[in-house]
Each structure stands twice: as structure tokens, then as C-alpha cells.
């Protein structure tokens, strides 16, 4: 009996010690922070989608679409597609320190980048841009005054007042440079861009859209051989003119242009275009809005039904817009009972949702050929 008691106590002791050494719950894990250059993310072609890919993307908003009038001057506040009026800023931080290439880097001119930023953002049709191109505006008003007279100019100005920004979109950037090598060396530039949307009246920085940080390296826009130079007796001999502001500006402008391109692709993912499906006939779909809602050419869009707050993916389509509407083709139907039911009804005529259900289309990101054709 004594042996039995000792064995029992030993087992209980081991169990107690095992419990003390049990692994605590874990919900996070360590990961390395990357300093690699950023990449552009674009939508896959609708032809490349698998069934598992046909899901509703993040950030879609169908609430209040019935309130949209698409009149830019009288748009309903409840319309989720109302375009905020913004003024844009591109801020280039100063460069401190000394060393090879620093002086030329410090002379970087960002004025033309602001114009590029305005043009590109206006093209994706997510904002109404109040331009800061005062020179062009002043020249045009001067020509109008000379040709039409002061009275006509005053009437024109009174009938079309300057837009008042709702928000400010600001891009901040950091520039760094380092040289590597000895007799034959090369320059490495890095440009980091972050964006923010802020309310200039409440001083609040908004959380959406959150585009993260974009990093561009000189090797993304130039071959390493183009950045090489030779020095002898600590004097420049030949190769890349790292001390010449014009040459440095050319590289940094290309880097900034690439950064803006990446920024645009992220913006199109964070602020997707949304439209309501009016009807489906066979594989053809008809949408109630087009360019006026930011739908782009060859847009890849997920088609889904929406009822009582629940979404049901139906298929993936390739869409091309007109000014106020769009047409497309469902390339792949979702393998589900709901999609099969709609596909079957659409084969026999025009399918229109009923009984409170609605069908929508939402974009999944920058179209496949967006960077090639628009940047």
C-alpha cells in the first residue's frame, strides 16, 4: 500500500510540474522588416481567375448608392462615391550631412512632380483636384481678359467660384544617397514616400485611405552600369556625374514618377469603383455607372449579390465604361448554387434581381494594363 501511495504522489507531482511548464497562448509572431523596394500591385485579368479567387474584395461600399446623383456640384452627402475636393502637396524633406553627391541631391526640384501628382490623381477619378498650378491659371485668365474684356471675366469668375477643398492630400518624402566602391564606384539613391489625407480645418489626419510607405531605389530606374563613376587621386575622372544637379534630378524624377505610379495602384485598391448591375443577359452585364464612378478601361470586377447585409459572389467580369454606364462580360461564374441559378435564368433572357436583392460590381485594383497605358 505504501508503494502505491508513493507512486500516486510521484504521478501527481509530475503532472503539476508539467502544468507549470505548459506553453502560454501565443497570438503573434516575430518577423523581419523589409527595406526592399516597393512593387506595384495590379489586378489579375478576369481570364486568370480561379474559382477560389472569386471573392468580394476589401473596402467595397454599397450603402447609399441609391442616393448618388453624380452631379459634382450637388452630390448627396450620403453617396459613398462622392468625390472629396482636395488640394495636393508634395513635400521633399531637406538633406543634411556632407559627402559625395549630397550637395546635388539637396538641389532636387520637386515643382514639376506636384503637377504630375495632380494629373495622375485626377485621371483615376477618385478625387476632385484643386490645382496649385497658379502660373497656368494666371496666364489663361490674362488671355481671357485681353480677348473678352473685364466685364466678361468678372461674370465668368462670379458664375464659377474656386472649389473649396474638403481635405488635403500630402506626400512626404525622404531622400538618401550612399556611394560604394573605391576607384570605380557607384551611387545608390533611395526615395521613401508616405501619404496622408488630412482635414485642414479640424487638423485631423484621416485613417483612410492608408497607402503605407513606398520605397524606390535608383536601381529600379537605372542600370548599375549607368550609376558608375571613376575617381583618381580623389578627383572625378569619368562616368556618372553625381555632382551635377541636372543628372541627379533626372534620376530622382524617374524614381519619384515610379513612386507615384505605385501610389496610384494602391489607391485604386483602397478606393475601388462600385456600380450596380442593371441586368445580365447570357454572360453580358449592364452597369448603371461608368467613368463617372471611376470605372476604368478593362476593369476586372467581382459581381456579387447583396441582400440583408450578406454578400454572395457570382462571378468575375471584364468591364469597359462609357461616361455614365458600363458593359462587361462575365468571364468565369462562381461554382455555387446562387451563381448557377442566375446563370441559368440569364441564358433564357435578361435576368434582373428581385425581392429586395441587388447585384453589384466592385473593382479589385488597378487594371492589368493600367501602368503600361496610363503611366
- As a whole number of angstroms, the distance between CA 255 and CA 249 comes to 10
Please name the residue ranges forming H helices in the chain: 2-20, 102-106, 111-123, 134-148, 150-159, 245-270, 337-347, 370-374
Range of the domain at 155: 82-270
Q: Is residue 9 part of a domain?
A: no
Task: Tell me: do 101 and 232 sit in the same domain.
Answer: yes
Q: Is residue 20 part of a domain?
A: no
Both ends of the chain: CA-CA distance in Å? 87
Task: Tell me: do 165 and 223 sit in the same domain.
Answer: yes
pLDDT of residue 303: 95
pLDDT band at 7 (very low <50, low <70, confident <90, very high): very low
Q: Is residue 7 part of a domain?
A: no
Whose CA is closest to 121, among 266, 249, 253? 266
Task: Tell me: do 280 and 238 sit in the same domain.
Answer: no
Domain boundary among 237, 270, 303: 270
Note the pLDDT tens digit of each residue in 176-189. 888 877 678 888 98
Q: How many helices (H) and strands (E) are present in the chain, helices listed first?
A: 8, 15
pLDDT band at 31 (very low <50, low <70, confident <90, very high): low
Task: Tell me: do 240 and 277 sit in the same domain.
Answer: no
Task: Tell me: do 90 and 152 sit in the same domain.
Answer: yes
Domain boundary among 206, 240, 270: 270
Task: Tell me: do 111 and 195 sit in the same domain.
Answer: yes
Number of domains in the chain: 2
Q: Is residue 25 part of a domain?
A: no
Whose CA is closest to 371, among 302, 291, 298, 321? 298
Q: Is residue 248 part of a domain?
A: yes
pLDDT of residue 108: 77
Task: Tell me: do 194 and 98 sit in the same domain.
Answer: yes
Task: Tell me: do 146 and 245 sit in the same domain.
Answer: yes
Query: Which three cell numbers mark 372?
Result: 503600361
Q: Is residue 254 part of a domain?
A: yes
pTM of the shown model: 0.80
Task: Tell me: do 100 and 125 sit in the same domain.
Answer: yes
Q: Is residue 183 part of a domain?
A: yes
- As a whole number of angstroms, the distance between CA 360 and CA 302 comes to 8
Task: Tell me: do 288 and 163 sit in the same domain.
Answer: no
* Cross-strand pairs, 299: 319
- As a whole number of angstroms, the distance between CA 219 and CA 119 comes to 26
Note the pLDDT tens digit of each residue in 92-145. 766 766 677 888 888 777 777 888 888 888 888 888 899 999 999 999 999 999
pLDDT of residue 46: 92
Contacts of 294 (CB under 8 A, 6+ apart): 81, 124, 125, 126, 271, 273
Q: Is residue 3 part of a domain?
A: no
Please report, for the domain that includes residue 206, its CATH number: 3.30.160
Domain boundary among 270, 295, 330: 270
Task: Tell me: do 202 and 192 sit in the same domain.
Answer: yes
Task: Tell me: do 223 and 263 sit in the same domain.
Answer: yes
In the predicted model, is pLDDT for residue 285 greater than 50?
Answer: yes
Give me the sign of the Cα torsion angle 38, 44, 302, 264. positive
128 vs 82, which has greater pLDDT? 128
- As a whole number of angstroms, the distance between CA 110 and CA 89 comes to 10
Amino acid at each position: 500500500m505504501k508503494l502505491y501511495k508513493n507512486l500516486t504522489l510521484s504521478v501527481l507531482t509530475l503532472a503539476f510540474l508539467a502544468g507549470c511548464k505548459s506553453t502560454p497562448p501565443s497570438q503573434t509572431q516575430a518577423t523581419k522588416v523589409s527595406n526592399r523596394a516597393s512593387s506595384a500591385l495590379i489586378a489579375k485579368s478576369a481570364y486568370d481567375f480561379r474559382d477560389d479567387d472569386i471573392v468580394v474584395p476589401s473596402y467595397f461600399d454599397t450603402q447609399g448608392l441609391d442616393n448618388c446623383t453624380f452631379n459634382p456640384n450637388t452630390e448627396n452627402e450620403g453617396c459613398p462615391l462622392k468625390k472629396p475636393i482636395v488640394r495636393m502637396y508634395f513635400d521633399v524633406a531637406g538633406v543634411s550631412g556632407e559627402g559625395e553627391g549630397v550637395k546635388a541631391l539637396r538641389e532636387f526640384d520637386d515643382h514639376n512632380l506636384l503637377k504630375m501628382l495632380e494629373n495622375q490623381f485626377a485621371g483615376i477619378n477618385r478625387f476632385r483636384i484643386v490645382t496649385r498650378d497658379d502660373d497656368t491659371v494666371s496666364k489663361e485668365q490674362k488671355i481671357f481678359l485681353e480677348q473678352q474684356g473685364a466685364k466678361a471675366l468678372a461674370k465668368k469668375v462670379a458664375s464659377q467660384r474656386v472649389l473649396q477643398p474638403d481635405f488635403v492630400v500630402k506626400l512626404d518624402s525622404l531622400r538618401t544617397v550612399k556611394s560604394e566602391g573605391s576607384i570605380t564606384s557607384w551611387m545608390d539613391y533611395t526615395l521613401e514616400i508616405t501619404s496622408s489625407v488630412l482635414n485642414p480645418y479640424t487638423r485631423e489626419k484621416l485613417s483612410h485611405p492608408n497607402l503605407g510607405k513606398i520605397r524606390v531605389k535608383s536601381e529600379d530606374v537605372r542600370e548599375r552600369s549607368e550609376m558608375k563613376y571613376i575617381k583618381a587621386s580623389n578627383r572625378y575622372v569619368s562616368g556618372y556625374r553625381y555632382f551635377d544637379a541636372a543628372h541627379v534630378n533626372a534620376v530622382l524624377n524617374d524614381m519619384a514618377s515610379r513612386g507615384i505610379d505605385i501610389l496610384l495602384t494602391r489607391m485604386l485598391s483602397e478606393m475601388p469603383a462600385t456600380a450596380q448591375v442593371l441586368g445580365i443577359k447570357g454572360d453580358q452585364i449592364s452597369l448603371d455607372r461608368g467613368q463617372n464612378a471611376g470605372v476604368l478601361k478593362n476593369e476586372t470586377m467581382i459581381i456579387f449579390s447583396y441582400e440583408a447585409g450578406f454578400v454572395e459572389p457570382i462571378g468575375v467580369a471584364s468591364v469597359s465604361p462609357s461616361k455614365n454606364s458600363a458593359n462587361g462580360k462575365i468571364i468565369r461564374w462562381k461554382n455555387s448554387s446562387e451563381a448557377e441559378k442566375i446563370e441559368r435564368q440569364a441564358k433564357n433572357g435578361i435576368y434582373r434581381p428581385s425581392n429586395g436583392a441587388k447585384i453589384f460590381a466592385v473593382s479589385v485594383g488597378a487594371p492589368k494594363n493600367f501602368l503600361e497605358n496610363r503611366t
